Amino acid sequence: MERLVKSGSGWRIGWNPNAVEFKGLVGTDNWAIELTEAELDDFCRLLAQLADTMKQLTEELMDEEKIACEAESDLLWMEVEGYPHEYNLHFILNKGRCVEGQWYASAVPGLLQASGMLKVF
């Protein structure tokens, strides 16, 4: 399999199975960070988990009510903040490199969809 980078308005995510250490990539139009395979796996898993949580909260919140939800692994911390149907995403790497990044609500649906299909063969 060759290197794969998916991108859309305000987001990008990539996978390079042939890279020695940093096989993943996440970013926006203005910045990007390479991730190890374990970091990318956690990123995708936690993003899906947070999206599911926000979807479940749709029924429990009033339309104008905002919420923040966090998820964490040994490798990274993530937070979504906003409305259940429209929220920003923020992450911080917990180990090694000191990195943090954020995506605006308009970019999250595309990033979420691409992250679920990135390593599907």
Q: How many CB atoms lie within 10 A of CB 28?
A: 17
The phi and psi torsions of 103 (rounded to 5 degrees) equal -120, 140
Query: For residue 14, what are the contacts with CB-CB under 8 A and spacing of at least 6?
Result: 3, 4, 5, 6, 24, 25, 26, 118
Tell me what the pLDDT averaged over the chain comes to: 92
Domain ranges for the chain: 4-117
Question: 38-48: b or e for each residue (b if 16 or more CB lie within 10 Å)?
Answer: ebbbbbbebbe
pTM above 0.85, yes or no: yes
Q: How confident is the model at residue 120 (pLDDT cuts 50, 70, 90)?
A: low
State the CATH class of domain 4-117: mainly beta
User: pLDDT per residue over 45-60, tens digit each?
Assistant: 999 999 999 988 877 7
Query: Above 50 in pLDDT, residue 121?
Result: no
Q: Cβ distance 88 to 80 under 8 Å?
A: yes
